[in-house]
Structure 1
Amino acid sequence: MPRRTAPAGTDPALARGAAANRGGNGLFRLGPRALAITLAWLRLTAITGQTLAVLFVAYAVPLAIPVHALLAGIGVLLLFEIATVMRLRLGWPVSELEAIGHIAVDVLVLGYLLYLSGGASNPFVTLLLVPIALAAAALSRAGIAAVAVLSGAIYGLLLRWYQPLPAMASGHGADFSLHVIGMAINFAIAALLLGVFIARLAGALRGEQMRLQRLHERALRDEGILAMATQSAGAAHELNTPLATLRMLLHELIPAPSTCEPLRGDLKLMAQQVDRCSEILRELVAVGRAQLDGDCETLGLGAFVRRCTDRFQLLRPEADTDLQLRAEDADLPVRIPAGLQHALINLLNNALDASAQLGSTQVALSARSGVRCLEFRVRDHGPGFADPSRSPDSLGVSGKDHGLGIGLALAEATADRLGGDLDASNAAGGGAEIRLRLPLLALLPERDGKPVPTAMHCIPEETP
């Protein structure tokens, strides 16, 4: 089963965030804030490179250039960089107009520096294309057009108005050699910027596609679960009457003691199962009511997992369940959200079915609390997964002859809804292990209106 990280599940906020990062043409966009951060890093690199270039040309070549005027322009860019870093640390949202303003400052300062150093004849004039490339990946069409018009206007002005570079003392050939060197440096800078930026863009695009795929899969799964829940509500209402009739008849059919002990035992087991079915129906109604009211029962972790194993033993009396719980975790108070108990029972039921394939009745349930998460592990002694990276069960499709194909899907949906994750792997020594991890802070009871800090609880030891 592929690991499902679920910070949002089918949260519409994730969908809105994904939509906000796509432009009108459907391509993935980094967004104004990511663009502002990228510009800040590039601006810092530009300030360093421009300062070194000015000092090198002025004192090492040497060439009579307006050093102080050039350094003043770089100083303005440095002040703007400091202001930008302080602003980005505030965490306020960055609008597209503000991002365009950042690009405008960079373009104008670059145009000023090019005006003092040869205008359009300066080999670094092609750096005016970099802001357009950045804008194309982060802004709307209107924003891209604005940046392109500004860069094009600066380039056009530099064709007509600029201060030519003074000739070098060694003659025209030396001037051309310096121009070629500048073109080579400019090519290296452009190649580096485009390579790094395109690699980052491709990685972000792949990540966004994976998030959208997970979102689509969860939406399909949740639609199926919702359809089944709707049908289950109607079925639960209809089943209440025949179950009450069966319960009454079974209790009347149970013979007196010592008359027919085998039949008496079977009928008592049937009556217990009917009572359990009625109890499950009542629990369904209670879970739905708790979900609507937002109420959660608070229990010790030990009491909760023992209740889960007790309920599981009623469903599967043949199971040999091994409960593993550290003494320091047993008294940890946790809020039990709706559906968590059913998720663990579903995982235990699947584990017992897997163990039965090799003639075993052993399953294990462990619970461990850590600094950030509460982890449940369900272990079976079956054949394990042929390919642990693929889900052995999906909604409506079961690998068992008598299965409904909803156990793991419901457990995974519960993990997503609670902000956790569910994954599986083959266990050392045979069998498989399912891990259900939930954020501990969301499960701790409140004290004075505030959750208990997770640091109050121990860090789990690393286990294989």
Structure 2
Amino acid sequence: MTGLPPYVVWRRRMLWLRAVLVIALALALLVLRQFSALVPLSLTPLLWLGALLLPNLLTLLTLNLDPRPQQRLLAVELAMDVLLFLAVVQLFGGASNPMTFYLLVPVLMAGMTLPPMTNGLVLILALTGYMTVSQWHHMPAPHTALHALTRELSALHNIGMAVAFAALAVTLSILGQVIQALTRQQQRQQDKAMELAGRRERMYQVAATLAHQAHELNTPLSSLVMISDNALQEPGLSGTTRADLEQIHALARQVAGKLRRADHHDVPEDIDFAALIDRLRLHLRHLQPTLEIRHQGPDHAVLKQASDWFRVLANLGYNAIDAGAGTLAIQLSTAPEEWRLQISDDGPDHPERPGREGMGIGLALVESTLENLDARLEMEFSRQWTQARIRWSGYGA
């Protein structure tokens, strides 16, 4: 996922496409020059070939603008592509030249990136331009290969070419709109999946916090804080007794605060594998105390961007808990060229939930986080285990 709208992405891609087009046409002119050496090469076609790159100038000047106006700029650039290419085609035999079908490229781009109304305008511009150059165009110089090709084409052939061009243009325009609609639908589904995954992650984090607080209330230290606090509210205490209770109360709160901070400090930027597993085990312990977390691998292997790796493992752990897993097995293998992390759970083997697929549920956050880590995810489901295999280059670890 790039995070950029499609029309911004295609503006950048069209930079290269126009450059390739100009180079290809220039090479074609040189080849044709070999077949018509008696006719000098005019400067006018070369100037019009260079003019095909004018939309690139507009793109380069406005590429860093806010994405919203860039859709309108793309429409302007595609219209310029159509008009400039029609001017080139007009010099090389008009619609009888097969390269006229390049006009279908901006038509397809408009269908994939622009609103229906603007797409329709680009389509009408291309069709009108094609019909115009089919009737009004510059005849190539005599005794040239292009002139011979043009003279051999019959009027009936030109009509067939026009019908084929119009049919293809309309078809590609509609196809582009369909692709654009499907892309938007897929993006909405992905956003919804991310939202649901984020809600579930926050729900589990709140549940873990509440479970931890409930655990604290059952400890002797918390009982001491509550008893000393209640005792201080009693009237008629002597000065010595009140001073002792205040000292006990302050000391108990101070110790409880230090323990609480020790349990809730942030994940560092870099962390070794064993410490990361310990944090994961502590985090998931309050959600499902019976979940057994086993790990295997080099304990001192350092993982960079540890907060992202903790998020990946935590969400895979949430999925395993959802599936009723009793065991979560984590294995790390390191190599100079590639590191591998395998997370397995026995959720599918749980007798009360035989139809669930363990960590295969709700992987939207996991996949998006792994993209930031330049890691690849592979899932494998079996009747006993669900396995998630993560691979990334050793440099990113």
TM-score normalised by the chain length of structure 1: 0.49
Q: Distance in 2 between matches of 1:182 and 1:51?
A: 27
Q: Is the 8 A contact 1:419 1:438 kept in 2?
A: no
Q: Distance in 2 between matches of 1:119 and 1:39?
A: 25
**Which residue matches 2:17?**
41
Match of 2:277 among 305, 308, 312: 305
**Which residue matches 1:221?**
197
**Which residue matches 1:272?**
none
State yes or no: 1:432 paired with 2:385.
Answer: yes
**Which residue matches 1:332?**
302
Match of 1:415 among 353, 361, 366: 366
| Residue deviations 1:319-343 (CA, integer Å, cap 9, x gap) | 6x764213xx624265643656755
Q: CA deviation at 1:379?
A: 3.8
Match of 1:135 among 101, 110, 121: 110
Q: Distance in 2 between matches of 1:416 and 1:34?
A: 25
| Greater length-normalized contact order (CA 8 Å, ≥ 6 residues apart) | 1
Q: Is the 8 A contact 2:82 2:126 kept in 1?
A: yes
Q: Is the 8 A contact 2:360 2:386 kept in 1?
A: no
The structure that is helix-richer by fraction is 2
Quick one: which amino acid aligns to residue 41 of structure 2? H
Quick one: which amino acid aligns to residue 425 of structure 1? E
Q: Is the 8 A contact 2:94 2:138 kept in 1?
A: yes
Q: Distance in 2 between matches of 1:296 and 1:97?
A: 45
5+ residue gaps, structure 1, are 1-6, 9-13, 22-29, 249-280, 356-362, 386-398, 441-453, 458-464
Quick one: which amino acid aligns to residue 112 of structure 1? A
Q: Distance in 1 between matches of 2:85 and 2:177?
A: 25
Q: Distance in 1 between matches of 2:136 and 2:316?
A: 75
Q: Is the 8 A contact 1:132 1:147 kept in 2?
A: yes
Q: Is the 8 A contact 1:36 1:102 kept in 2?
A: no
Q: Distance in 1 between matches of 2:315 and 2:303?
A: 19
Q: Distance in 2 between matches of 1:47 and 1:137?
A: 25
Q: Is the 8 A contact 1:325 1:368 kept in 2?
A: yes
The number of residue pairs the alignment matches comes to: 347
Quick one: which amino acid aligns to residue 73 of structure 1? P
Quick one: which amino acid aligns to residue 216 of structure 1? K
Q: CA deviation at 1:301?
A: 1.7
Quick one: which amino acid aligns to residue 48 of structure 1? A
Q: Distance in 2 between matches of 1:197 and 1:161?
A: 25
| Residue deviations 1:20-69 (CA, integer Å, cap 9, x gap) | x4xxxxxxxx415415524743673476368648965x886x8x9x8734
Q: Distance in 2 between matches of 1:284 and 1:406?
A: 37
The 5-angstrom pairing of residues 98-247 of structure 1 reads: 98-100=73-75, 102-116=77-91, 131-140=106-115, 143-144=118-119, 147=122, 151=126, 154=129, 158=133, 162-163=137-138, 177-179=152-154, 183=158, 209-226=185-202, 240-241=216-217, 243-244=218-219
Quick one: which amino acid aligns to residue 332 of structure 1? V
Q: Is the 8 A contact 1:40 1:81 kept in 2?
A: no
SS at match of 1:367: strand
Q: Is the 8 A contact 1:47 1:78 kept in 2?
A: no
RMSD between aligned residues: 6.3
Identity %: 14
SS at match of 1:434: strand
TM-score normalised by the chain length of structure 2: 0.55
SS at match of 2:109: helix
**Which residue matches 1:455?**
395
Q: Judging changes above 3 Å, is the alpha-carbon distance between structure 1 residues 181 and 221 closer, same or farther for their aligned structure 2 residues?
A: same
| Residue deviations 1:158-215 (CA, integer Å, cap 9, x gap) | 58865456899xxxx9976424697478889999999999989877776664443232
Q: CA deviation at 1:378?
A: 3.4
SS at match of 1:296: coil
SS at match of 1:330: coil
Q: Judging changes above 3 Å, is the alpha-carbon distance between structure 1 residues 309 and 134 closer, same or farther for their aligned structure 2 residues?
A: closer
Q: CA deviation at 1:216?
A: 1.4
